[in-house]
Structure 1
């Protein structure tokens, strides 16, 4: 089997980050858009804190939600730039990095930043 030249390098982020970011962003979305659906009283001190934020800082929470997604968009853009820098040229692979980084942020981008492609040997 021939060695890959790195143009199609892709690594899926860990299950921990897939679940954590999905639940975190999902919960944040619910707090901002449908707080009446969340059983705050069953979440103990965390629920009380979240209820306080919803009652007193709804506007800031809304802006924070948009800011979180803006950061993910920026990270996805950086992922495309890193793909170019690291010689990842396969279009499907670049799209995989873009989508994964958009959805999971630095949990994905960190994997791409750590990737060190093999450099051709100097003669």
Structure 2
């Protein structure tokens, strides 16, 4: 969706990034807050590694989860600033960029940063 003047530009991030980020964040959240719900013994070497992290570095993982959350909030706020700089003034579209960037991070923000609106040529 894009207006002729670029004030309503929005592109959905790719399905690959949506699935990858969603599954990764969900797995990390479960490891931090409910590791007993994950069948770690069924995941082979990866499960053993995750069990080691849960048993020995739970506090660090908890801090890492909050850091990841803060980074996503920061990226979402940056997306609003980038929208302003690129002339995206439609409030609904700006909200879409904010939510998408909060959920999928740089996979979304990267699309917005790559957007190069056509500026009218000055004589």
CA distance in 2, matches of 1:96, 1:4: 18
Distance apart, 1:58 and its partner CA: 0.3
Residue correspondence of structure 1 range 35-114 to structure 2 within 5 A: 35-114=35-114
CA distance in 2, matches of 1:37, 1:4: 50
Distance apart, 1:121 and its partner CA: 1.1
CA distance in 1, matches of 2:107, 2:91: 21
1:19 paired residue number: 19
Distance apart, 1:98 and its partner CA: 0.2
Distance apart, 1:41 and its partner CA: 1.0
CA distance in 2, matches of 1:51, 1:36: 10
Between Structure 1 and Structure 2, how many residues are aligned?
121
TM-score (norm 1): 0.97
What are the ranges of 5 or more consecutive residues in structure 2 without an aligned counterpart?
none
Distance apart, 1:44 and its partner CA: 1.1
Deviations 1:66-85 (A, max 9, x none): 00010000000110000000
Aligned-pair RMSD on alpha carbons? 0.7
Distance apart, 1:13 and its partner CA: 0.2
Distance apart, 1:4 and its partner CA: 1.1
1:7 paired residue number: 7
What are the ranges of 5 or more consecutive residues in structure 1 without an aligned counterpart?
none
Q: Which runs of 4+ in 1 moved over 4 A?
A: none
Distance apart, 1:15 and its partner CA: 0.1
